[in-house]
Amino acid sequence: MDLLTTLVDKGLRRELPTREEALAVLATSDDDLLDVVAAAGKVRRHWFGRRVKLNYLVNLKSGLCPEDCSYCSQRLGSTTGILKYTWLGPDEASKAAAAGLAGGAKRVCLVASGRGPTDRDVDRVSDTIRAIKDQNEGVEVCACLGLLSDGQAERLRQAGADAYNHNLNTSEATYGDITTTHTYADRVDTVHKAHAAGLSACSGLIAGMGESDEDLVDVVFSLRELDPDSVPVNFLIPVEGTPLAKEWNLTPQRCLRILAMVRFVCPDVEVRIAGGREVHLRTMQPLALHLANSVFLGDYLTTEGQAGKADLEMIADAGFEVEGTDQVTLPEHRAPDGAGCGSHESDGGCGSPGVCGSAPAAAASQARTDLVAVRRRGAGTDLAPNA
């Protein structure tokens, strides 16, 4: 396909595709799917070889969130029956992180529900960051605490945080349909604060919330303009008790096309397969490794993932290798100081600037509620974590 040849050439040069080209990737047929994966795989291997970076989530504070994000099981008024607990102490959080690190994770992601941290919360998380760093040489720590106030990103950086995550989730045009208690601009502002503080910015999206192809392209182009070092791609987990519980819009094939589009738009950025891969990619997860160079190991915030051992076996069986702590994740031009997380560069990352045909409506996927299990182990419980 001329389209794929063009996209590979642009990806190797870090050149932004047109909107029409990005939309055309999402509109390709299932007959062309393996060609799309192979093309995007060339771009992935050019910048990241066959390495897969493992990340591990620690949910520091679960549930009890005052925000109304429609996709979230921790939202205001949630009836999902998830684990609910207040802040884990540094020792308990470090113990949870150690399980993921022992399983091969290179980065620990410390997440807390809520609109954003108070200054006391930042102190609390800073203590946890120091504890994890003191006990684990070479570990990367990413914080995800919601909307940041002035000065908070700098304090997290001083405590040893390497990165900060705050996802855009969906397009600006449809953001108000998903969340009403804060704005898209609020999220963009927090990513800017992370950049300004010298943190490696991490920002991504959630697919499968009923959005159009145009919405997906809009949010990914917006991400490229923000230039994060890592872009997590979440696939909606329709948890019973949330407003989007009936949104089963994704097929494995569509998930792969979305990941390919993200790779073409953000060629030299850490693209991470995040929540929902087991639910929506299912047996096609190994193909996604040809598109993304990063995954979460084990469980998610409030739902269970597949066994950590199965993740490691999948990576090896697919011909990939787990990235070590002594390896630099990002290409040299994004990590000029040799840091594992990379640093912001205005001229090359994941950012802004046409139609080979309109995208067909996505085929409805069969609801697989059997694959959605509320997390009952790990952080906040007395049971061993999955890693």
Question: Catalytic residue numbers?
Answer: 65, 69, 72, 109, 142, 202, 272
* CB 126, CB 146: distance < 8 Å: no
> 339 exposed, middle or buried (CB, 10 Å; 0-12, 13-18, 19+)?
middle
DSSP string, 150-200: TTHHHHHHHTT--EEE---BS-GGGHHHH-SSS-HHHHHHHHHHHHHTTPE
Q: Greatest CA span in the chain, whole angstroms?
A: 55
Report the residue count for the chain. 387
Q: Give one DSSP letter per residue of 305-352, joined into a string.
A: -S-HHHHHHHHHHTT-EEPPTTS--S-GGG-TT--SS----TTSSS--
Calpha distance 284→337 (Å, rounded): 37
